[in-house]
Structure formats: structure tokens, C-alpha cells
Amino acid sequence: MKTYKKVPLPFIGQKRNFLKHFIPVLQQNIPNNGAGWTIVDVFGGSGLLAHIAKRTLPQARVIYNDFDNYAQRLHHNAATERLRQKCQAMVSERKNQRLTPATQSRLIAEIETFNGFVDVQTLASWFLFSGKQAKDWTDLKSKTWWNGIAQSPYAEADDYLDGLEIRQQCFTELLPEFAGQPNTLLLLDPPYVSTAQGAYANEQYFGMVQFLQLADKMKPPFVFFSSTKSELPAYVDYVCREQVGNWQVWEGCQKVAIKARLNYNAAYEDNMVWRFD
């Protein structure tokens, strides 16, 4: 099966920069190509973690919780490519240049009369300044647009989700089914607390209360992704030092950190934390 090292369609928060760390962690801790193991991508997002887990450990059962309905976007990949070509032909501004009001108005008219599926998240990646998000079409068309239209065509990616078991459940329903079960790895990449979540299916889906629910119910083995923007490292240091809450799950964790950048003047640190024993 083909292995994708980046997502076929744009998604805020995809973890492709962690793959060189994530793959060895899987290989070093799960034997026999994953035979007898279940891997649950609890906050599935773009499905990249689930996809890589299945390609790395093909004998494992891999569950992708497609809460944000990324599979639907992939299903309409051909329509998104048709719309990309139409929009590209209408824009004369240079790459990364702000669009004139006239160009933006023409594009909005074209999109609203387009005969096919309209993928708002992909459109936001074309027309909003780096790192900006839109919660829906009404929100997107009210913003200032820039020329960030993808230059390369979107290829068919029907095989991207091959081999995955797809669910669509809130993590509060999915986690109790699998947490603490033998040979079950939890992949935990929740929306970052206290950050913009407008690109997700439910922008109120994950706040501080939800994070505390997750922290209380999770058990090793797990791989957890987070960021200094949501203060996970500080939280882990605190609960282990004070021995409060479900602190034992964090004891002895390993961590790797990478620098990430939203745009030319906004950077932060992303973290991958894992524990298997």
C-alpha cells in the first residue's frame, strides 16, 4: 500500500513534522508488524497518524476516529481539483499577494455557483493568511483574501484510508472502550487547549474541562501530541511534582520537541510524549 508522508488535502494541525520520530517509536515498541495490537487514533483529524500507523504496522487493527469528517472531503477530491483550476485561472495577483476586492468578489461568485462539493477548509488554506482559520463559508468570505492557491493538482487519494476502521465518536465515548485494554495503543492528538479551533467540526469540542476528562481517563501505552501553546509540559510537571489527579500515567514518559512556525513572526514548540510500560 502507498504511504503518504503528508495529507492529501489541507488540515490544520497535521503531524507530518513528527513522522521521523513517530515511526521509530512504533517500530521499537510494538513487535511482529503489530500483530495482536489495536491502535486507536482518538482525535483522528486528517487521519495521518492512523495512516502511518497502519503502513508501519500492517498487521495491527487501526481505528481512525474521523470526527472532523475528513473522509468526506477526500471523497470529493476531484471536485476540489476542478474548483482549484477555476480559481487559479481567475487570479492575476502574485503568489502570497493580497487579492483585490474585485478579484475576491469574482471568486466568491464562482464558488457560490460551483456545481460540486465546496471544501471550505481547503479554500481557507488557499485564501487566508498563513495560520488563519474559518469556521464556515460565511466566515471565510467575510475575511480578507490572499493568493495562496495550491500550485500542484490534487491527485486522487482513494487509498489513503485503506485498512483503517473508521469511527465518528466523541472521545468521551471512544476512550472508555479502549483505554487500558491489553495491547492497545492510544494516539492522542486533541485540539490544543486555549487555541483557535475554528477549523474543527465543533469549535467548542475541546476545552479545559475536556482536557481534564481526557487526562483522568487515559492510560498507557499512549503517544500524546501537544504544544507549549496549550501548556501540556507545564501541566505534566505540575501533576507529577504534586502527585495530583491521574499523575501516574505521566511518570517516566519520554518526550521529543520540535520548533513549529505559523508564519514569519509566530513560532512555538510542538511536543510528542509517549509511554509504553
| Total of domains in the chain | 1
In-domain check, residue 96: no
Mean pLDDT, each 10-residue run in order, the chain (277 residues): 91 84 97 98 94 98 94 95 97 95 97 96 93 89 96 91 95 93 95 48 67 91 81 86 93 87 68 92
In-domain check, residue 8: no
CA distance 78 to 140: 22
Nearest Cα neighbor of 253 from 228, 227, 221, 231 is: 221
In-domain check, residue 82: no
CA distance 165 to 144: 39
Q: Is the pTM of this model over 0.85?
A: yes
In-domain check, residue 7: no
Beta bridge partners of 270: 227, 258
DSSP codes, 236-259? HHHHHHHT-SSGGGGTT-EEEEEE
Give the pLDDT of residue 64: 97
Q: Which residues contact 42 (CB under 8 A, 6 or more apart)?
A: 65, 171, 174, 175, 186, 187, 188, 189, 190
In-domain check, residue 32: yes
In-domain check, residue 27: yes
| CA atoms lying within 13 Å on the CB side of residue 203 | 10
**250: CATH:** 3.40.50
Beta bridge partners of 227: 270
DSSP character at residue 213: H
User: What residue numbers bound the domain in which 257 lies?
Assistant: 16-71+178-275
| Type of residue found at 167 | R
Cell numbers placing 215:
487526562
